[in-house]
Chain A
Amino acid sequence: MAEKIYDVIVVGGGPAGLAAAVGAKEAGAKDVLIVERDVSLGGILQQCIHPGFGLKHFNAELSGPEYAYRFIEKVKATDIEVKLDTMVLEVGDHSVVGINPKDGLFVAKGKSIVLAMGCRERTRGAIMTPGTRPAGVYTAGAAQRLVNRQNMMVGKKVVILGSGDIGMIMARRMTLEGAKVLAVAELMDYTAGLTRNRVQCLDDFGIPLLLSHTIVEIKGNKRLEGVVIAEVDPATKKPIAGTEVLYECDTLLLSCGLIPENELTKEAGIKINPITNGPEVNQFMQTNFEYVFACGNVVHVNDLVDNVTDESLRAGSYAAQYAAGTLPKAAEIPSVTGNNVRYICPQRICPEAPAKLFFRAAAPKLGVTMKVYADDKEIFSKKLIKINPGEMEHVEVKPEDMKGVSAIKIEVV
């Protein structure tokens, strides 16, 4: 019997993986496989029961499970193969090594592979908060899963460190579920998450937002008894002595950023970008291994699932084209970050095809102009009312603007 070779193997069955598989199928891939480590598809969407998803992609205001359901139904309507409860151990040469209780250890071969592993939360260890190590300290997403999927209340008096979207959304959830949220402390002098979440999750419930504040001590032995919050110098981010205030609480939720989950990527030897912590890609979402594509939060942390979906549908379709041998190939040029631009994704551009460049600002600013340069020549400029690192911007560059050009630069001034 001839060994089965998939056209596209997708690692991860969250929003990115689902859209990549659907995108690959729609672009004509015959055999598509999704490998997912959880027992159900949908990834993080299943615990994001709040609304606000799908405004761009479905033109409807959906909850996370509703958004996931639409894609799971799409996958079920095709012959896309799904392996659940399956851990991928290694991404190899046109193959993935996986393990599950049914198949045991297996190798699946694919003409192209799409990495869609998503991201995970920064933990207390990663942010090095000093103090004792009592129970009651959770990442916001872990608490979200316990409360929204497992029917377990995590605490009664809560402090949240970090104003990321999940932190603010959990401030509202904990309040609705009957807990008292004393404060959300944020190291920076602006909110990390979306403005709409500050309004509807904090302002609506009168939850204090302490900007330029951080936790300097965690107190308690068995269970958390309190945290000490101090003001920080906005320039140095160092706590200011004498500003410490004790907040008595039994629960601390951490919403201090997300890290793309790239163990498989790194082990495979794929090039990682030090700013995004995800693989470097071109506009086809193709890594430096030309048969490996990547999409969604494993590449760069997105603020909207709609953006993940669009990017992943494209990644899936390009992976299918690669499998069919029809994806364009040309010498690539880099995208370069200028003034007040933290990163651009994709980092490499194939100048023969249009490229949508997504980027984040380094610092928030009002009344700015975004400018795109082909080498030294300005090819695009647009005035923006405001720019915020929490909200991704994008611009499209056409092939005619990239002819004979050695780099594309974006700046915000």
Chain B
Amino acid sequence: MVTKDIICITCPQGCIIKVSGDPEKGEIVSCEGFKCKRGKAYAENEFVRPLRILTSSVKTAGAAVPLVAVRTAAPIPKEMQMQGMEEIKKLTVSGKIVPGDVIVENFLGTGVALVASGSLE
């Protein structure tokens, strides 16, 4: 049985959430101190397997601006962030892009897409 104090990063309140259980088995016995549903979900994930949204920018070709912002559509495993950056470095995009356009499906095999977060005229 492990107990951890987790500082929620979902919003600026930064609630301190106490989670107990067995992170190896993915078991949660108790979760206290959250003030919203997002906080509870964050703390439980953080206890078992921390996730983060990865954001970066990719190179453009034939556009007025050199970069367009990208993000993972949902959080991905925290430890995959640097690997994600290596993949993003290899990409080039062109043509009209609006936020939400899929750049890479199933990014790094996570089941989460890499999508545009900025736009390109």
Residues of A within 8 A of B (CB): 46, 49-51, 55-56, 61-66, 69, 148-151, 176-178, 194-197, 199-200, 204, 303-304, 391
Instruction: Say which one of B24-32, B53-61, B103-111 lies at the interface with A.
Output: B53-61
Tell me the total A-B contact number using a CB cutoff of 8 A: 83
Whether the Cβ atoms of B52 and A204 lie closer than 8 Å is yes
Assess the A199–B119 pair: CB atoms within 8 A.
Answer: no
Let me know if B99 is at the binding interface, CB within 8 A.
yes
Contact B69 A148 (CB under 8 A): yes
Binding site for A on B (CB under 8 A): 7-14, 38, 52-57, 59, 65-67, 69, 71, 78, 81-82, 85, 98-99, 117-119
CB distance from A80 to the nearest CB of B (A): 19
- Among B9, B56, B59, B78, the residue within 8 A (CB) of A196 is B9
- The answer for the CA separation of A57 and B84 in the assembled complex, in Å, is 29
Distance from B107 Cβ to chain A, minimum over Cβ atoms (Å): 15
Residue B85 contacts which of A55, A176, A391 (CB distance < 8 angstroms)? A176
B8, B9, B118: the one contacting A65 at CB < 8 Å is B118
The residue in chain B whose Cβ has the minimal distance to the Cβ of A172 is B81
Q: Which residues of A contact B55 (CB under 8 A)?
A: 49-51, 63
9 A-B pairs within 8 Å (CB atoms) are namely: A49-B117, A55-B38, A148-B57, A149-B66, A176-B56, A196-B9, A197-B9, A204-B78, A391-B12
Are A176 and B71 neighbours in the complex by a CB distance under 8 Å?
no
The 4 residue pairs across chains A and B that have the minimum distance between CB atoms:
A195-B14, A65-B118, A196-B9, A49-B69
Structural contact, B10 and A176, CB atoms closer than 8 A: no
Kindly report which residue of chain B lies nearest to residue A392, judged by CB atoms: B12
Q: A194-B14, A196-B9, A200-B52 are in contact. Are A63 and B117 (CB under 8 A)?
A: yes
How distant is the Cα of A196 from the Cα of B66 in the complex, in angstroms?
A: 30
Using CB atoms, name the residue of chain B closest to A195. Answer: B14
> Are B7 and A195 in contact (CB-based, < 8 A)?
yes
Q: Is the CB of A66 within 8 A of B117?
A: yes
Measured CA separation A177–B67 after assembly (Å): 14
Q: Is the CB of B99 within 8 A of A196?
A: no
- Chain A residues whose CB sits within 8 angstroms of the CB of B9 once the complex forms: 196-197, 199-200
Which one of B13, B69, B82 lies within 8 Å of A176 (CB-CB)? B82
Q: Which residues of B contact A69 (CB under 8 A)?
A: 98-99, 118-119
The CA of A62 and the CA of B9, in the complex, are separated in Å by 14
A177 to chain B: closest residue by CB:
B85
Name the B residues within 8 Å of A63 (CB-CB): 55, 69, 71, 117-118
**Chain A residue at minimal CB-CB distance from B64:** A39
Q: A55 CA to B8 CA in the complex, in Å?
A: 14
A65 nearest in chain B by CB position: B118
| A46, B117: Cα distance in complex, Å | 10
Known: A151-B59, A176-B82, A199-B7. A65 touches B12 (CB 8 A): no
Closest Cβ–Cβ distance, residue B45 to chain A (whole Å): 13
Nearest CB in chain A to that of B98: its residue: A69
Q: Which residues of A contact B71 (CB under 8 A)?
A: 49, 51, 63, 66
Q: Which residues of A contact B13 (CB under 8 A)?
A: 391
B53–A196 CB distance below 8 A: no
Q: Known: A46-B118, A148-B69, A199-B9. Contact between A51 and B99, CB under 8 A?
A: no
The closest CB in chain B to the CB of A193 belongs to B12
Minimum distance in angstroms from B24 CB to a CB of chain A: 21
| Contact present for A176 and B66 (CB under 8 Å) | no
